[in-house]
Every structure is written in structure tokens, then in C-alpha cells.
Structure 1
Amino acid sequence: MKNTKRLYYLLGMLVLLLLVWMVSDTFTQPGVDDLKMDFNEVATYRNENNTGPIKRVYAVVVSDTLWHEMEQYGKLMPHTKYGNTQVYFFTNKEQAPVKLNAQKPHFDERFNQYCIGRFEKKAMGEEGFRKYPFH
């Protein structure tokens, strides 16, 4: 009887420990705030189609040209299975589009020269980052 009681306490403590570990892991996931650069979303586009592939496009102004940080930011953006997510990076708010659309290149061509990077996550989860995509 005494050994059974100890076993229940031990199992209870183990379950409690696992629960605390899972909850703490959930709340300590990396996010945009953990990145070294400042990111400012100036424009977004999402198609209205909720039954087919979802297309998301973002125009983001960055404070520096740390390529790895831009790629990490792109990876943190929302993505839907069979959808497409694209993030275009610019260094100056005045030289970034404020309106995006569904057709490539998703913004007025006069902004192409100011685009310093593009992150894309395709339908099957393939990711790619390209420096100066319009040069």
C-alpha cells in the first residue's frame, strides 16, 4: 500500500514536471522581437480566397542589411499549407510601396530599385531568400 502511494506521487510529480516544461516551452518560442533589427510592416496583401491557396505579400522596412535576420523574419511570417508567402525588404519608408496587389512584382515597378531582399515560402514549404531580387 505504501509503495503504491509513492508510485502515484512519483507519477504525479512527473506529469506535473512535464506539464510545466511544455507550457514554458510554449511561451518561450522565438519571435520577431528577438531579432536584432527593427522591422516595420508598411504594406500587406492577402487574397480573399479562403477555399483555395492563400497568397500573402508583405512590404517591410528594415533598419539594417543583416541578411540572416531578414531571412529569419520571413520564416516567422504566417504561412498556409499550399499557400504562398512573400516578404519584400526595403531600407527607407519613403522608398517602399504602401499598396500591394496579387500580380507580380506585387507593387509599382518604380520601387524595384529600392528592394534589397525577398523571402518566399512556397506551397510545399520550400523557402528561399534572395538579395537584391530586381538587380
Structure 2
Amino acid sequence: MIKSSFNQPGVEDMKAGFKEVLKYRNANNTGPVQRIYVVTVKDSIWKELEDYGNLMPHTKYGNTKVYFFMEHTNIPQSLQPGEVNFDPQFNSSCIALYEKSAMSQVAFNKHPF
């Protein structure tokens, strides 16, 4: 039983080649926490992208978003909170969006823009 606890699959076991290149977390520690990530991948293995999103930190009543881009494509250089998290010129390069809402509902969208 102990061995299985230490041998759980993780990001390093996935084949998509994830690289977290940008992240944002608001400084609000008393209210909803908003986390936003930009992650590049070598391959768009959709199931792995969703699994990666499920592994990301999430706070009760907070919101977590993970934007996926293919490596070697144009990606945002900065993130901001709110509905629009980066300059829309990068929308066409975004291949997927994982979002976990304040009520822990998960949405995974291929080509969200």
C-alpha cells in the first residue's frame, strides 16, 4: 500500500512534454484565489492535457485556468486576472483551455477561441 502511494502517475509520466512557462496568482488570501497558467506541449494528447489540468492546484471557491499552446508557437508574455487573461493576438495559438470553477466544476475545451 505504501509503495502504491509513492508510485502514483504524475506529469513526468505523460508523453505530451509539458512546460509551464507563465503563471499568475492573485495576492488575495482571504477571498477567492485566481490561478492562471500558460503551458506549452510537444504533442496535443487531449486526455493528458485534461489530466494535467486536474493535477494543478485549486482552492475552494477559487478559479484555476490552464491555457495550452504548442511549443515553438507565439505565446503570451504576461497574464492578468479577469475574463480576458492575455492579449487576444495569442488566441489563435491556444490549442486548449482547462478551467476549474469556484464550485469545482471542470471544463476542458479544445481550440477555445
**TM-score where L is the length of structure 2:** 0.93
Superposed displacement of residue 60, structure 1: 0.6
Q: Could you tell me how far apart the structure 2 residues matched to 1:38 and 1:48 are? A: 30
Contact 1:42-1:96 within 8 A present in 2 as well: no
Superposed displacement of residue 93, structure 1: 4.2
Contact 1:41-1:59 within 8 A present in 2 as well: yes
Root mean square deviation of aligned Cα: 1.2
Q: 1:44 maps to which residue? A: 23
Q: State the structure with bigger RCO (CA 8 A, min sep 6), 1 or 2.
A: 2
Contact 1:42-1:98 within 8 A present in 2 as well: no
SS in 2 for 1:124: coil
Q: Could you tell me how far apart the structure 2 residues matched to 1:30 and 1:78 are? A: 16
Gaps of 5+ in 1: 1-20
Q: 1:13 maps to which residue? A: none
Q: Could you tell me how far apart the structure 2 residues matched to 1:54 and 1:26 are? A: 29
- Post-superposition, which runs of at least 4 consecutive aligned residues in structure 1 deviate over 6 A? none
Contact 1:42-1:93 within 8 A present in 2 as well: no
Report whether the alignment pairs 1:81 with 2:70: no
Q: Could you tell me how far apart the structure 2 residues matched to 1:30 and 1:105 are? A: 33
Q: How many percent identity over aligned positions? A: 51
Report whether the alignment pairs 1:96 with 2:107: no
Please give the per-residue CA displacement for 1:26-47, whole angstroms capped at 9, x wherever unaligned: 3122211111110111110000
Contact 2:67-2:98 within 8 A present in 1 as well: yes
Q: 1:58 maps to which residue? A: 37
Aligned residue-pair number? 113
Q: Could you tell me how far apart the structure 2 residues matched to 1:124 and 1:65 are? A: 27
Q: Could you tell me how far apart the structure 2 residues matched to 1:49 and 1:97 are? A: 23
Query: In proportion to residue count, which structure has more helix?
Result: 1
Q: 2:94 maps to which residue? A: 115
Q: Could you tell me how far apart the structure 2 residues matched to 1:52 and 1:29 are? A: 32
SS in 2 for 1:45: strand
**TM-score where L is the length of structure 1:** 0.79
Query: In proportion to residue count, which structure has more strand?
Result: 2
Gaps of 5+ in 2: none
When Rg is computed on C-alpha atoms for both structures, the one with the higher figure is 1
